[in-house]
Amino acid sequence: MHSVALLNRERIYPIAKTIAKNLDFIDLLEERDFQYAAVKKILLLTNDLVDAAYVIVGTASVSYMLSMKGEKHWLLLVDYAKKMPGHSATAILWKFVEESPSLTRFRSNKLKRIRKLQENYSIFRQEFDTFVKDFNSLRKYLASTYRAGVDDKTIVFAVKMFYYVLKAYNIKARIPLDIPIPVDQIGGIIENSSYNYSRLLIELEKFIRVKPKPSWIELIDELVYKLYQ
C-alpha cells in the first residue's frame, strides 16, 4: 500500500545521488531497462552501428506526449525494424513516426522533426565518430537541426539513448556531467528495469555495502511509484 500522495524531491535527491555514484549498480540497472533491450534488438536488426544510432536517436527526439506506455512504444519500433529488412534507416524511422499508434499526438510536428533530421543524415554519418567521443557535439547537432535548446528534454533524452547504443555495442562511454540528465532519472531506470522490488534492495545493499535504512526503502518506494506517474 503506497499512501504517499506526492513525491518529496528534496528527500529523493540525496538517495538518488548516492545510487548514481555506484556505477556498477547503474550499469546493472541500465542493462535491464526496456529501452536498452530495444536498442540491442535494433542493433541486431540493422547490423549497422550508425544506422541503429540514427533510428534510436530519431525516435528518442519525438518520444514525447506518447499515446501509449513507453515500453510498448519501443517494442513497436523493434517491430517496424523487423518488418522492414533491407530498408534504409531513414525509411524505417520515417515509416515508424508516420504510422506508429504510439505517436498519434502531434504527429505532424514529429514528422517535421524527422524530416529535418533526414535532411542532415549525411552529417550525422560523417560526424558519428565525433559524437562518440563528445556527446556534447551530438547535443549541439540535434539542437541545431531541430532549432531547439540544448537542454530541451527530447535532446537530452536522445543523447541518453545514443549512450545506450554505444553501451550495447560495447563502446565504453559515460554521459558528461554537464549534460543535464536529471539525478532522479534513476527512478526511471529502476521503474523500467525487470527487477522486482525485493531484488532491487538486495542489489542496492550489495553495491553500497550498507544495509538500506527504512527511510531509504521509503524513498525508493516513493521514487519508483510516484515520480513517473
The one-letter amino acid at 70:
G
Query: Is there a catalytic annotation at residue 184?
Result: yes
| Three cell numbers, residue 72 | 510498448
Please tell me which residue in 33, 51, 110, 184 is annotated as part of the active site.
184
E-only strand ranges, the chain: none
Q: Report how far apart, in Å, the C-alpha atoms of 40 and of each of 45, 104, 116, 119, 169 are.
A: 9, 25, 26, 26, 8
Cβ pair 150, 140 in contact under 8 A: yes
Residue with cell 535494433: 42
Task: Indicate the angle between helix axes 34-46 and 70-83, nearest 10 degrees.
Answer: 10
DSSP 67: S
Question: Would you state the cell numbers that stand for residue 222, as one nine-digit string?
Answer: 516513493
* Amino acid at the residue 108: S
Active site residue 41: no
From 21, 82, 83, 153, the catalytic residue = 153
Cell reading at 77 = 519500433
The residues assigned a catalytic role are 153, 184
